Amino acid sequence: MFESLSDRLNGVFEKLRSRGRVTEEDLKVALREVRIALLEADVSLKVVRQFIKSVEERALGADVLKGLNPAQQVIKIVHEELVEILGGGGAARLNTATHPPNVIMLVGLQGAGKTTLAAKLALMLRKQGQRPIMVAADPYRPAAVTQIQTLGKQLDIPVYHEPNRKPPELAQDAVKHAERMNFNYVIVDTAGRTVIDEAMMREVAEIRRRVEPPEVLLVADAMTGQDAVKVAEQFHQQVGITGVVLTKMDGDARGGAALSLRSVTGVPIKFVGISEKPDGIEQFHPDRIATRILGMGDVMTLIEKAQQQTSEEEAQRLAGKFKKGTFDLEDFLDQLQKVQQMGPLDQLLGMIPGMSQAMKGQDLTGQEKGFKRVEAIIQSMTPYERRTPDIIGTSRKRRIARGSGTTTAEVNRLLNQFRQMQKMMKTFSRGKMPKGMNLGSLMGGRR
């Protein structure tokens, strides 16, 4: 997400930082490069012009170039203006009704990912203690109803559908059913087309009129760039949307749609889809996205992801084991699996300030395969061996290697790295950082 744009902007700002003193001409040259980078990222021309104008006026008007560390001041202004065009400070919340159920209507073109998003939203709401129900209101796309019913079974979330009913009537019946059965969220998956047509818009508008949803979310494919912005404009004009969800953000290196949508439509981006997994959805935080674009990481999202995997009691238990030096291979395996559940390694590293640049050009696919090999080695050990790895001698290593499909050299490497990790944790508990430790050694790769 934003990889190409982030790289270009970092290159521009690196040149500014290297100058020490920044002249007005230096600023104009830098902003020309920023302008090109934004246009190449498929940001709309109107948004780019306004953005560059705002940054230049603020930088020159406040005598930023005459102050201390002018490059950092310019970067600060760029960050603040990025936050502004992305929608302001914090995340936009879901709109709710005065009286439940809260209806969330999903609209958009075919292939944008509405049905998958319906399941992701339902799962997210259930984790928050809500009672959601999904509505299969797309009778046109082959297997659309089957898809949402299958997702409902997999996630244990109910799906409402009545064959041979027109979508507006079906959606209206679903809301009444939700009221009777005490569901407090109704997620209506509407039909899409490959292109916008009058029939689709009339049907969507009629569904909206009948169920009066507080939330109408346009589901847009981020990889379509400015086409997603045009679709958003048309839906907003003809139906009226309250927010946008950008799907397939994990596959979009440019990100222009995200940077244009709020300015062009006036409605907030509320969520982004980051993977095909049922939990592959994130709230859209303009301030956090801006820091990611500028290569500053996103520590808050990383912390939230970690908190989802580990309870407070578990965190305290592990902290105690770190201090006592009793952290064993069973604990290590558990934490390794939790890291993998948090998402792809490149996404996680991108949230650590400075790490995306430090890891640039490195192939992390091998690192993720290394996770699996480490996992296989530990799972081939007995529980006693995991708790007391010092007992693992030559014959045990051979057995573990055979069981995991690895070599004794790899088993040796893991055990050596684990001993180093234990030493590191003891040092951490005393507030020191040992030399010679790196990301690869912690993750089970070569040093």
Q: What is the pLDDT of residues 396-433, one digit of tens each?
A: 999 999 999 999 999 998 888 888 777 766 665 555 44
Question: What pLDDT is attached to residue 445?
Answer: 42
Q: In what order do the strands lie in the sheet with 185-190?
A: 159-160, 132-137, 185-190, 102-107, 215-221, 243-247, 269-273, 281-283
- CATH 1.20.1270.360 fits domain 3-86: no
Question: What pLDDT is attached to residue 346?
Answer: 58
Q: Considering just the CA atoms, what is the radius of gyration of the chain in Å?
A: 26
CB of 216 closer than 8 Å to CB of 245: no
CA 126 to CA 199: how far, in whole Å?
Answer: 34
Question: What DSSP letter does each residue of 42-53 carry, written as one string?
Answer: T--HHHHHHHHH
Q: What is the pLDDT of residues 126-146, one digit of tens each?
A: 999 999 999 999 988 888 999
Backbone dihedral region for residue 143 (phi beyond 0: left; psi -120 to 50: alpha; all else: beta): left
Highest mean pLDDT: which range of 136-140, 340-344, 359-363, 369-373: 136-140
Highest mean pLDDT: which range of 54-58, 153-157, 365-369, 443-447: 153-157
- pLDDT at residue 368 above 80? no
Phi/psi of residue 102, each to 5°? Answer: -85, 120
3-state secondary structure of 98: coil
CA 35 to CA 49: how far, in whole Å?
Answer: 8
Strands (E), 23-108: 102-107
Structure-block tokens of residue 327: 């952290």
Question: What pLDDT is attached to residue 432?
Answer: 46
CA 195 to CA 32: how far, in whole Å?
Answer: 36
Q: What is the pLDDT of residues 279-307, one digit of tens each?
A: 889 888 888 888 878 776 545 555 555 55
Strands (E), 269-405: 269-273, 281-283
Comparing CA positions, the residue from 434, 377, 368, 439 lying closest to residue 405 is: 377
Phi/psi of residue 93, each to 5°? Answer: -85, 160
Determine which of 27-31, 341-345, 380-384 has the lowest per-residue pLDDT on average: 341-345
- CATH 3.40.50.300 fits domain 102-286: yes
CA 80 to CA 301: how far, in whole Å?
Answer: 19
- Interval 229-254 mean pLDDT: 85
- pLDDT at residue 9 above 90? no
Comparing CA positions, the residue from 35, 31, 20 lying closest to residue 60 is: 31
CA 343 to CA 280: how far, in whole Å?
Answer: 8
Task: Report the predicted TM-score, pTM, of the whole model to 2 decimal places.
Answer: 0.69
Distances (CA, A) of 426 to 115, 171, 319, 431: 48, 59, 11, 9
How far is CA 351 from its chain centroid? 10
Distances (CA, A) of 429 to 255, 354, 415: 41, 25, 21
Question: What pLDDT is attached to residue 441?
Answer: 40
Domain ranges in the chain are: 3-86, 102-286, 302-443
CATH architecture assignment, domain 302-443:
Orthogonal Bundle (1.10)
Side-chain-side CA neighbours of residue 212 (13 Å) = 6
Identity of the amino acid at 283: Q
Number of H helices, E strands in the chain: 21, 8
